[in-house]
Structure 1
Amino acid sequence: MPKIGVEQSLTQVQEALQERGYDVVQLKNENDAKGCDCCVVTGIDNNVMGISNAVTAGSVIEASGLSAEEVCQQVESRIQG
């Protein structure tokens, strides 16, 4: 199953992705994003974390304004894409 990095503050998103069987890791620093197929960030500090740089080859999803379900749908479309 794909590995998804999720910012610590996005607890509902983490739980929703885990329920769907994804391997979810918390993004505490930019090194946590390495090896992730996709990363979910709030958009507030994604530049501080370095995820907007080439830390990961996977997609970066900004979760601000989205429900956990909408984030899951975006993750699935980008992983399958």
Structure 2
Amino acid sequence: MARIGVEESLADVKNALMEMGHEVVDLRSEEDTAYCDCCVITGQDKDVMGMSTTSMAGPVINAHGHNAEEVCQMVDNKLS
């Protein structure tokens, strides 16, 4: 399965992705995005984790306004 970076505050999303068999990495700093196939962010910060440039080559999913199931579906869609 995929390696997914998820912001720490999204515990329900992390659990749901792990149940699906994905490897989940906590996003605490820019370096945590290394080797991630996809990242899930809260969308609450304009510049995620204080980053003004994008170092993530894969898709970034904004979880704002979505439940864990919807976010998991978005992850699957982006990775397929």
1:56 offset after TM fit, Å?
1.3
Distance in 2 (CA, whole Å) between partners of 1:17 and 1:41 is: 14
Q: Percent identity?
A: 52
Cα distance, 1:46 vs. partner?
5.5
Output one character per residue of 1:11-38: Cα deviation in whole Å (capped at 9) or x when no partner.
0000000000000000011110111110
User: Residue 70 of structure 1: CA displacement?
Assistant: 0.1
- Tell me which stretches of 4 or more aligned residues in structure 1 moved more than 4 Å: none
Gaps of 5+ in 2: none
Secondary structure of the corresponding residue to residue 47 of structure 2: helix
- Aligned twin of 1:12: 12
**Residue aligning to 1:75:** 75
Q: Which structure 1 residue ranges, 5 or more long, are not aligned?
A: none
TM-score (norm 2): 0.91
Give, in angstroms, the shift of residue 48 of structure 1. Answer: 4.0
The question of whether the paired residues in 1 share the 8 Å contact of 2:2 and 2:37 is answered with yes
> RMSD of the alignment, in Å?
1.4
